[in-house]
Amino acid sequence: MSQRFLFALMLIASCTFLLFIYILPPNPLQKFIFAILCLLFDLIAFSTKLYMDFLVPMLKMRGRTIVVDDEEAFVLAPSGEAITVRKGGDIFASAFVKIPSYRSGTEMTPEEKVEFAKLFGRALTITNRPVRFGAQLYVINKDKYIGNIRDKLNEVEERYQRATMNKDISKGEAERIRGEVTMWHNLLDNVNKVKSHALDAFAMITEQGNTEEEAVTLVTQQANELVAGLSSIFGIAANVVVGEDILRYIEPDYMIPVVTETEQLRGKIAEEGV
C-alpha cells in the first residue's frame, strides 16, 4: 500500500466523520464522538507522511514489539555478487564495490592532497543513481587463526597428557612438549591482548527489479560501471565485492567477528580475575 494512498484513505475517513458532524441532527454526544473519530483519522493521515513504515505493522503488534519485518534483513544472491531485499512486491538488489587505496596523506605534497580530495567530487557524479560511499574501520577477522591456535593447543595438551602417563618417554621429551603447550598458550593470550583494525573504502549501489534475477543483473551492470569510473578516476583497481566479503559491509557480527571478540572478552575477564 503506497503512502499517498493511505493518506488519502485516512483523510477521506476523517472528512466523512466531519460531514456527519455537520449534517446530523443536533445530538451533542453523538457529534462529539464523531469529532473524536474525525481527529483520530486526521492525525493518522498526517502520520503516514513520516511513519508509514510503522503504521501497518503497528496493527499487527506482538506484545510491545512492532515487527516491521520478521524475515532475514537480506538474502545473498546465488551469484554472490549482490544482496537482495524484498519490500512488499518490490525486489531491490544491492552490490558493493571495494575501493582499494594504498596512498597516505603523509607521502603527498600539499598540491597532491588537494587534487586527491577533489577526485572525490568527481567520483560522486559517476552515476545519477543514489550511491553510498563508505569508509569503515573494522576488526580484522582472526577467527580462523584463533581456531587453528586452539586446535594446535588441544592437540599438544593431549600429547603432553599422554607423555606424562607413558613411562617410555624421556623426561627431556616431556619437557619439550610442555614447552610447546606453554608456547601455544602464550600465543593465544597475545591474540587476546591486541585488537587489530583495518580500513576499507567501498561504494554501494541499488537497483529495483520485478524479479530477483532482473534486479541482480541490473545492479551488477551498474556496479561494473562504478568499477570502471572509480578505477579511472583514482587510478586504482576497484572491484565488485563477491560472496561472504559483502557481509563485512552490512553485518555487525562480521564487522566485529564473533570468535575474535569472544577471545578478547575472555582475555579481559581473565585479566580482571587475576
Which member of 253, 272, 273, 274 binds another protein (CB under 8 A)? 253
For residues 175 to 194, the per-residue mask of contacts with another protein, x marking binding by CB under 8 A and - elsewhere, is --------------------
Residue 7 interacts with another protein (CB under 8 A)? yes
| C-beta of residue 182 within 8 angstroms of C-beta of residue 110 | no
Q: CB neighbours (10 Å) of residue 177?
A: 18
Question: Which lies closer to another protein via its Cβ, residue 121 or residue 172?
Answer: 121
Question: Which lies closer to another protein via its Cβ, residue 7 or residue 160?
Answer: 7
We find the least distance from the C-beta atom of residue 17 to another protein, in angstroms, to be 9
Residue 205 interacts with another protein (CB under 8 A)? yes
C-alpha cell at 141: 577477522
Which member of 23, 26, 89, 102 binds another protein (CB under 8 A)? 26
**Residues composing the chain:** 274
Question: Which lies closer to another protein via its Cβ, residue 173 or residue 251?
Answer: 251
Question: Which lies closer to another protein via its Cβ, residue 89 or residue 172?
Answer: 89
For residues 45 to 84, the per-residue mask of contacts with another protein, x marking binding by CB under 8 A and - elsewhere, is xxx-xxx-xx------x--xxxxxxxxxxx--------x-
Interactions with another protein, residue window 112-171 (CB under 8 A): 113-114, 116-118, 124-125, 127-139
Cell numbers 508509514: residue:
52
Question: Which lies closer to another protein via its Cβ, residue 45 or residue 156?
Answer: 45
Query: CA–CA separation, 264 vs 189, rounded Å?
Result: 9
Query: CA–CA separation, 109 vs 115, rounded Å?
Result: 10
Residue type at 154 in one-letter notation: N
C-alpha cell at 240: 565488485
Which member of 76, 152, 255, 267 binds another protein (CB under 8 A)? 255
Nearest to 246 by CA among 220, 266, 267: 220
C-alpha cell at 72: 532475514
DSSP secondary-structure letter at 210? S
Question: Which lies closer to another protein via its Cβ, residue 177 or residue 205?
Answer: 205
Query: CA–CA separation, 229 vs 233, rounded Å?
Result: 6
Residue 38 interacts with another protein (CB under 8 A)? yes
Nearest to 208 by CA among 96, 128, 92: 92
Residue 204 interacts with another protein (CB under 8 A)? yes
Residue 9 interacts with another protein (CB under 8 A)? no
For residues 80 to 119, the per-residue mask of contacts with another protein, x marking binding by CB under 8 A and - elsewhere, is ---x-x-x----xxx---------xxx-x-xx-xx-xxx-
DSSP secondary-structure letter at 243? G
Of 169-177, 201-209, 220-228, 235-243, the segment contacting another protein by CB under 8 A is 201-209
Contacts of 9 (CB under 8 A, 6+ apart): none
We find the least distance from the C-beta atom of residue 91 to another protein, in angstroms, to be 9
Query: CA–CA separation, 45 vs 270, rounded Å?
Result: 56
Which member of 141, 192, 206, 217 binds another protein (CB under 8 A)? 206
Query: Phi and psi for 11 in degrees, rounded to 5?
Result: -70, -40
